Amino acid sequence: MEFKDYYQVMGVARDATEAQIKQAYRKLARKYHPDVSKEKNAEARFKEVGEAYEVLKSPEKRAAYDQLGQGPRPGEDFRPPPDWGSGFEFSGAGAAAGHADYSEFFESLFGAAGGGARNRRGFDNGRGQDHHAKVMLDLESTLQGGSRTFTLRVPEIDAEGRLIAKERVLNVQVPKGILPGQTIRLAGQGSSPGPGGNPGDLFIEVEFQPHPLYHVDGRDLYLDLPVAPWEAALGATVKTPTPGGPVDLKIPPGSHAGTKLRLKGRGIPASTPGDFYVVLQIALPAATDEKAKAAYRALADALPFNPRTALGV
């Protein structure tokens, strides 16, 4: 098992005061809170920081942890010493509610989340508990619908009363037209309350994976489309990718960088579907060979053009 250097996780010295530890925790918690942070590993970091704080904020746990010394070098195998924990009394045993994800290291030292008495609420009215999860969807699933396989981590209480995270694989028919920030409800896929009662529901919050081509704004989709200067100036018909496959798009003459062209109703489906917008960008051919340079020179000779008139120079 991997030794965790909680001081390093929190970025504090080993002799940090309680106040310093609390301050460091607050700062990191705000930085990595999964609702606030857009960093990729935010949730994992938030849990790691929470675990470190759980130990360092409690004088008993911290003292016991300090007894381990620096541990083996990070990443090396760690076993708790046989006399571990003797002489310490851990008040408020176990972990705060809602954490199924303490590391093996933490659990070997301080036990799992502290008995099966927790998390039992929600079994009232003979109805099982609702579950909540979060998934990342690709844009294609909202455009076309269709089934997707989700792997969810479900907290569960095992036979020994420990809280563990179990993997659950679900095949879900994704409703067409779902938007980021919306929720898929799966009736009856929450906890079972035991015989006779109705199971709870499963709520899956949806976010979209960034698409390599399209940006989403509400139900509208945006594509940046590079065009040649002469295509923009003279007008042209160019091949354009759309979620439904490539189309021939007419660029009107006199277009410029930032010109927005709309393909009505080709956004995210709904009773009033979103639109598909193409935003033109002018791409310049590189003047690397003599032929290209000559062409640019000819253009410069032919056109008296000052792109900076608006700047007063």
List binders of another protein among 99-128 (CB under 8 A): 121-122
- Contact call for residues 130 and 205 (beta carbons, < 8 A): no
CB of 127 to another protein, least distance (A): 9
Q: x/- site string to another protein, residues 267 to 306, per CB under 8 A?
A: ------------x---------------------------
Among 10, 113, 152, 204, binds another protein (CB under 8 A): 204
Among 75, 258, 304, 312, binds another protein (CB under 8 A): 258
Among 67, 183, 209, 237, binds another protein (CB under 8 A): 183
* Closer CB to another protein, 60 or 130, in the complex: 130
**Of 12-20, 153-161, 175-183, 238-246: span binding another protein (CB under 8 A):** 175-183
* Closer CB to another protein, 50 or 193, in the complex: 50
**Of 10-18, 70-78, 79-87, 164-172: span binding another protein (CB under 8 A):** 164-172
- Contact call for residues 280 and 232 (beta carbons, < 8 A): yes
* Closer CB to another protein, 149 or 309, in the complex: 149
* Closer CB to another protein, 49 or 64, in the complex: 49
The 8 Å CB, 24+ separation contacts for 129-132 are: 129/190, 129/191, 129/193, 129/200, 130/190, 130/191, 130/200, 130/201, 130/202, 130/203, 131/189, 131/190, 131/191, 131/200, 131/201, 131/202, 131/203, 132/202, 132/203, 132/204, 132/205
Q: What are the structure tokens assigned to 8, written together?
A: 């390093």
CB burial readout 231-267, b (16+ within 10 A) else e: bbeeebebebebbeeeeebebeeebeeebebebeebb
The 8 Å CB, 24+ separation contacts for 245-249 are: 249/225, 249/278
Positions that interact with another protein (CB under 8 A): 26, 29-30, 33, 35-36, 46, 50, 98, 121-122, 129-130, 132, 147, 149, 168-175, 177-178, 181-186, 189, 203-205, 215, 217, 222, 224, 258, 279
